[in-house]
Structure 1
Amino acid sequence: MIIPYNTTYFSPSKVYRRLSILMLIKDMPHSSQHLIAQKSHLSSSMVNIYIKELKQAGLITVSGKTNRTTEYHLTQKGQKKLFQDFISFSSEAVQIYASVKREIIRLLKRYETNGIRTVVLYGASDTAEVVVSAIPHTRLVVIGIVDGDPSKQGHIFNGTLIQAPEAISQIDPDAVLITSFARQDEIYNNIESILGEDIEVLTLTDLQQLQQTTLSEVVR
């Protein structure tokens, strides 16, 4: 199932919503329009419009006379359309992933030129997955992963045991890399409260460089 999202930079399009509804119908043919609306983050009236359009296009069939007995099924044409749309969606998602990965590699290479070799990742998240895939393209080595969430500690993340942040001093890396975009300040303060200023902390955004670039553009 494709989970719909609402973001500032990647707002769902009509094509995306249609794909989401087709996927929901494929996975849950017995669902009511109300449930489909909940799962797709759309209003029931909007789902009703999409259902009518999909039926008219010959992509789905609708059977049953009441809400409790209604079933939605993909036609052969609908299955083919779902497959084509999913391939296109996946291709775009991979391109976005690759773009983010390239930017992270660029930033990590800048850090390695400062003599940093061993790092501990702070945050066992989806972003950390991208960082782990980027690391082999640099000379950096991940020697530990920590997370402040007790429910994650003790589990394995990409072959490495997730530990509590207090373990950083025992692991003794050259630096800690915060693998979060949204919680950088919070995590930085947590590291500082545990280790003081005895260890270098890296982030995934070079804000100082960004500010300098923006300033130079303004001056020009």
Structure 2
Amino acid sequence: MKKILNNERGNIAIFVLGLLIINMVLFVFVLNLGSVFATKEKSASIAQQASMVATSVFYEEVRNAIDEYEEETLEGALHAFFEDFEEKVSNRKEHLETSGGYVGWSLREIEIEAFDQVLNEELNSSDYRVELEGFLESRVDKQKVIRSIKRTIQKNDGLLEDAQLEIKNNRFHVKASKEFTATTYSNIIENFQDNVYQNSSGPKIDFLEDIWGNPKTINLEE
């Protein structure tokens, strides 16, 4: 009888130990699952910030190049004599603000829309602006845009390993990652690390592909 009781106690102890191990494994699994989702959200945030920074820097470069175009080329100077590019953008911005079609838009968003509309009109008037597109393509510093993306990724603790910039559908698409390290308990689950990748795209820039040229896909790790 005593032997039977001892066996039962041993079986119960093994059963309880098994339950504890299962609970520990489940706890670690749930903890890691939450960490994966958190890392995924962080990666998405990094990619989104990088694509927005790329858009902002690109606009800045285009505006600077247009200033140079109006100062350095005869064609640009002639058009600027009557009304320079920034004056056209300012007038278009005022028109959009009062048109009623942009309710809820911020002043910055309206300004960007005005800039897009004016530059598209200028680029599509080939007889009017013969040199403009080629000038912008040669003067816009694409490397500055790429460097700004890399800095943004690294500043937010992201990784450049297999990171990528793609220019598609007139948007900057950025692929970035953050490292995920699995939480372990004793030796129940082996140590595990991997990069969690996410993609994000910036706002549409109607003239982006016309000015950017090639290559359309850039590996940011290089």
Pairwise TM-score range, normalised by the shorter structure: under 0.3
More helix by share: 2
User: Which structure is larger by alpha-carbon Rg, 1 or 2?
Assistant: 2
In the superposition, the TM-score normalised over structure 2's length comes to 0.25
